[in-house]
Amino acid sequence: MNIISISKREDLPQKKEWLIRALAVALSIVCAGLVIRILGYNPLQVIPSMVSGAVGTEIRLQQTILKAIPLVVTSLGILVAFKMKFWNIGGEGQIIMGALGASYVALNIEGLPKFATLILMMIAAMILGGFWAFIPAFFKAKMGVNETIFTLMLNYIAIKFVTYLQYGPWKSPDSQGFPKVATFSNNAILPKLFGIHIGWIIALVLVVLVHLFINHTKKGYEITVVGESQETARYAGMNISQIIIVATLISGGLCGLTGMIQASAVEKTLSATLSGGYGFTAIITAWFARLNAIAVLFVCIAFAILLQGGAYIQISMQIPASVADMIQGIILFFVLGSEFFLQYRVNINRKRLNAKEVA
């Protein structure tokens, strides 16, 4: 036998599980510290300032939460699809399409009260985001087309389409030649509460709703069964095509809603870059939360701290962006890598090890 063998773990006590995770975080910080040291910075300065940069003052904390909001909403969308083992890699495109829908309302419909405008924007965003997820879902349900590549490719179509609008028909005449869509009127901008736009309330409500939906509704039950085994779903008499389509509509709709929040409250206009990679990052956060809606909230906040802290040290310590990215990467690597040790145990065959040394 090999000196090292790997076997699947049966059950791991909760305590040990958290110990492994804590160890991973600690190791990642040590490792990141080493890298910072090699690059000629003082890790004892850099790492604490990452934390303080993310949560140190009220304004910084607000910035962190601003980053957490789209992450939470998108992760919830991804979660619904992943629960069904529908690999929706198209969060980016669905966010962009959602933003497009919201912008259309914001730029073209006038004279409605603010509340109605915002609701209409949300609906438009969810319909367009949902539609963008519906296309691959339809082909998956009817013809068994692989959704992974399909959703991924739709991202680029959405981004290029909005780029076209931004440079062409939707270019604002007031932008003095800049390829920029007109800024929204005040009516189309989400209001603030406690200094942060109310997207945070939307995110919190959605966490609870998605949790209820997955765990306590019939549809949520169906989605889980289909994800587990389509044969079982067929056996139970479920309408699999319909379930696939409903779940992806919800998934895409939530991603679309992220687009509306970002367009309305952050960018205040439509741009091809407003998805900011959240559609991809959300895949990591949703997985790391083990597809649990409540856990999504905490994972996304932790992630936002990482993003914001990274951004902060670039400015305050003149550390290049690539170093901040590296630190984030190292932490991610360890934390996600620890999942392996939660699922498997590594046995070192001491007897053989000794035998080798003798020989």
Partner 1 sequence: MEPVKAIEMKGISKAFGSVKANEDVNLTVYNGEVHALLGENGAGKSTLVNMLSGIYRPDSGTVSIYGEEVGFTSPKDSIAMGIGMIHQHFKLIDVMTAKENIILGKNQGLITRNKYISNEIKKVSDQYGLDIDLDKKVYNMSVGEKQTLEIIKVLYRGAKILILDEPTAVLTPQEIKKLFTIVRNMKEQGCAVVIITHKLNEVMEISDRVTVLRRGRSVGTVETSKVDTSTLIEMMVGKKVDLAIKKEKTADAKKLLLEVDNLHVKNSEQKYALEDISFKLYSGEILGVAGVAGSGQKEICETIAGLTKAEKGRIIFEGEDIIGKSPREIIRLGIRMGFIPEDRLGMGLVGSMDIVHNMILKDYHNQPGIFLRRGPSVKKATEIVDKLEIQTPSINYPVKKLSGGNIQKVLLGREIDSNPKVLITAYPVRGLDIGASYKIYDLLNEQKRKGVGVLFIGEDLDVLMDLCDRVMVFCIGKVAGIVNPDEVTKEDIGLLMTGGKGGALS
Shortest gap between Cβ of 335 and partner 1 (angstroms)? 24
Among 168, 231, 357, 359, binds partner 1 (CB under 8 A): 231
The burial class, CB within 10 Å (0-12 / 13-18 / 19+), for 111 is: exposed
Whichever of 62 and 349 has its CB closer to partner 1, that residue is 349
| # residues near partner 1 by CB under 8 A | 22
Per the structure block, which two tokens stand in for 155? Answer: 């991202």
Structural contact between residues 53 and 59, judged by C-beta atoms closer than 8 angstroms = no
The contacts found for 13-20 with CB under 8 angstroms, 24 or more apart, are: 17/342, 20/338, 20/341, 20/342
Are 311 and 324 within 8 A, CB to CB? yes
User: How many Å apart are CA 263 and CA 272, to the nearest integer?
Assistant: 10
Q: Is 236 or 336 the residue whose CB approaches partner 1 more closely?
A: 236
Looking at beta carbons only, is 169 or 237 nearer to partner 1?
A: 237
Residue 62 or 224: which CB sits closer to partner 1? Answer: 224
Judge whether 151 and 89 are in contact, CB under 8 Å: yes
Q: CB–CB of 32/331 below 8 Å? A: yes
Pairing of strands 4-8, 196-197: unpaired
Q: Nearest approach, Cβ of 349 to partner 1 (angstroms)? A: 9
221 belongs to the binding site for partner 1 (CB under 8 A): yes
The correct pick among 108, 173, 177, 216 for binding partner 1 (CB under 8 A) is 216
Longest dimension (CA), the chain: 87
Least gap, CB of 218 to partner 1 (angstroms): 5
Candidates 343, 345, 346, 353: give the one binding partner 1 (CB under 8 A).
345
Question: Residue 350, interface with partner 1 (CB under 8 A)?
Answer: no
Q: Which of residues 185 and 229 has its CB atom nearest to partner 1 in the complex?
A: 229
> Which one among 4, 204, 236, 348 touches partner 1, defined by CB under 8 A?
236
- By CB under 8 A, residue 42 contacts partner 1: no
Distance CA 209, CA 91 (A): 20
The residues that touch partner 1, with contacts defined as CB under 8 A, are 1, 7-10, 216-221, 224-225, 228-229, 231-232, 234-237, 345
